[in-house]
Structure 1
Amino acid sequence: MKRPDLARAYRLTALGFFGYKAATLLVNALTYPRLRPRPLPPERPRVSLLVPARNEAHNLPHTLPGLLAQGAEEVLVLDDGSTDGTAGIAARLGARVLAGDPLPPGWHGKPWACQQLGAAARGEVLVFTDADVQWHPGALGAVLHEFGRSGADFLSVYPRQRNVTPGERLLTPLVDAALLTFLPHPLLRLPHHAAAAANGQLIVLRREAYRRVGGHALVRSELLEDVAFASRVKARGGWLGLALGREVLSVRMYRSYPDSVAGFGKNAGSFHGRSRALLAASLGWHLAAYTLPWLLPGRVRGVWPLRLAGLAERTAVNLLTGRRRPADLAEGLLAPLTPLLALPVYRRAMRRKVAWKGREYEQ
Structure 2
Amino acid sequence: MTVIAFVLAVAVTALTAHTWVNARYWLRRPVDGPVGVDETVAVLLPLRDEADRVTPCLRALLAQQGVPDLRIVVLDDGSTDGTAEVVRAVAGDDPRVTLRTGVTPPPGWLGKPYACHQLAGHAGPAATVYAFVDADVVLTPYAVAAAVTELRAARATLLSAYPGILVRTVGDRLLQPLLQWLWLTFLPLRAMERSPRPSLAAAGGQFLLVDRAGYDRAGGHAAVADRVLEDIELARAVKRAGGRIALADASRLAACRMYETWPQLRDGYTKSLWATFGHPVAAAAVVTALLLLYTAPPLLAVAALVAGSPPAAGLALTGYAAGVAGRVVSARATGGRAWPDALAHPGSVVVLGWLTLRSYHLRKRRRLSWRGRPVS
- 1:1-363, aligned counterparts within 5 Å? 8-9=3-4, 11-13=6-8, 15-41=10-36, 44-71=38-65, 73-94=70-91, 95-122=97-124, 123-187=127-191, 188-273=193-278, 275-296=279-300, 297=302, 298=305, 299=310, 301=312, 302-323=315-336, 328-350=338-360, 351-352=363-364, 353=366, 354-362=368-376
- Residue 60 of structure 2 aligns to a residue whose secondary structure is helix
Give the total of aligned pairs: 352
Q: Are the structure 2 counterparts of residues 32 and 236 from structure 1 closer, same or farther at C-alpha, using a change threshold of 3 Å?
A: same
Question: 1:213 deviation in Å?
Answer: 2.3
Tell me, in whole angstroms, the C-alpha distance in 2 between the residues paired with 1:268 and 1:154: 23
Tell me, in whole angstroms, the C-alpha distance in 2 between the residues paired with 1:26 and 1:220: 35
Question: In 1, are the aligned partners of 2:35 and 2:145 still within 8 Å (CA)?
Answer: yes
Question: 1:13 deviation in Å?
Answer: 4.9
Tell me, in whole angstroms, the C-alpha distance in 1 between the residues paired with 2:9 and 2:79: 46
Q: Are the structure 2 counterparts of residues 65 and 107 from structure 1 closer, same or farther at C-alpha, using a change threshold of 3 Å?
A: same
Question: In 1, are the aligned partners of 2:19 and 2:326 still within 8 Å (CA)?
Answer: no
5+ residue gaps, structure 1, are none
Question: In 2, are the aligned partners of 1:160 and 1:246 still within 8 Å (CA)?
Answer: yes
- Residue 339 of structure 2 aligns to a residue whose secondary structure is helix
How many percent identity over aligned positions? 34
Question: In 1, are the aligned partners of 2:47 and 2:77 still within 8 Å (CA)?
Answer: yes
Question: 1:27 deviation in Å?
Answer: 3.0
Q: Are the structure 2 counterparts of residues 356 and 81 from structure 1 closer, same or farther at C-alpha, using a change threshold of 3 Å?
A: same
Question: In 2, are the aligned partners of 1:37 and 1:141 still within 8 Å (CA)?
Answer: no
Q: Are the structure 2 counterparts of residues 225 and 126 from structure 1 closer, same or farther at C-alpha, using a change threshold of 3 Å?
A: same
Tell me, in whole angstroms, the C-alpha distance in 2 between the residues paired with 1:84 and 1:22: 47
Question: In 2, are the aligned partners of 1:111 and 1:220 still within 8 Å (CA)?
Answer: yes
Deviation larger for 335-344 or 54-63? 335-344
The corresponding residue for 2:94 is none
Query: What amino acid maps onto 1:303 in structure 2?
Result: A
5+ residue gaps, structure 2, are 92-96
State the TM-score, normalizing by the size of structure 1. Answer: 0.91
Tell me, in whole angstroms, the C-alpha distance in 1 between the residues paired with 2:223 and 2:82: 30
Deviation readout 1:120-166 (Å, 9 max, x if unpaired): 00222111111111101211221121012111111111011111233
Deviation larger for 102-111 or 343-352? 343-352
Once superposed, what is the RMSD of the aligned Cα atoms? 1.9
Question: 1:92 deviation in Å?
Answer: 1.3
Tell me, in whole angstroms, the C-alpha distance in 2 between the residues paired with 1:317 and 1:81: 37
